[in-house]
């Protein structure tokens, strides 16, 4: 599974502004809803319930919020680079500015874990995160995230 299989160009956003984690997840749910023909309130509720279990702020300025949704027919990602980093209750207490949202069908099983692992490997790569933070626009962000030669090993 490649990132291009789950992330479309219209699912990439730059310079998002959010005051806090909850408002960011509301915003991301609104942006994801048209991509999956879903209801933004249901997407947010599912993401928020998952976030209550434990933070998806994985450290080094990165968060990977994820949720399984009923009636979703394919795995879908949304990537956002924030204008200003926010507190996300990350495991290292560092503020978050790179967010890769993952939505999977409720019955995705191992595919959910494979997609999450792929995104995690990509976002743990320090060099990749530096490039994402320096990218000038959405097209460059998408190209970096989906390039076939992207290194999926932690740097």
Helix 110-124 vs helix 126-134: crossing angle, to nearest 10: 80
To the nearest whole number, what is the mean pLDDT of the chain?
A: 93
The answer on pLDDT for 96 being more than 90 is yes
Confidence class of residue 1 from pLDDT cuts 50, 70 and 90? confident
Of residues 21, 31, 66, 124, which has the active-site annotation?
Answer: 66
Query: pLDDT-derived band of residue 151, with 50, 70 and 90 as boundaries?
Result: very low
- Per-residue pLDDT tens over the stretch 110-150: 999 999 999 999 999 999 999 999 999 999 999 999 987 54
Where are the domains positioned within the chain?
A: 3-146
* Per-residue model confidence (pLDDT) at position 149: 53
Q: How far apart are CA 43 and CA 28, in angstroms?
A: 9
Is residue 112 among the annotated active site residues?
Answer: no
Token duo for residue 12: 């990439």
CATH of 3-146, one of 3.10.20.310, 3.30.230.10, 2.60.40.420, 3.40.930.10: 3.40.930.10
């Amino acid at each position: 599974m490649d990132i291009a299989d789950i992330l479309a160009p219209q699912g990439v956003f730059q310079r998002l502004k959010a005051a806090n984690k909850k408002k960011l997840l509301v915003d991301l749910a609104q942006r994801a809803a048209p991509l999956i023909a879903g209801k933004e309130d249901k997407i947010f509720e599912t993401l928020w319930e998952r976030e209550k279990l434990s933070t998806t702020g994985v450290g080094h300025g990165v968060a990977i919020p994820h949720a399984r949704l009923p009636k979703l027919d394919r795995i879908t990602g949304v990537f956002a680079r924030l204008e200003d980093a926010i507190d996300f209750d990350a495991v290292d207490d560092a503020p978050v500015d790179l967010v890769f949202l993952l939505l999977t069908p409720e019955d995705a099983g191992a595919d959910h874990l494979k997609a999450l692992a792929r995104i995690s490997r990509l976002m743990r790569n320090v060099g990749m995160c530096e490039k994402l933070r320096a990218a000038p626009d959405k097209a460059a962000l998408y190209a970096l995230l989906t390039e076939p030669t992207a290194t999926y090993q932690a740097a």
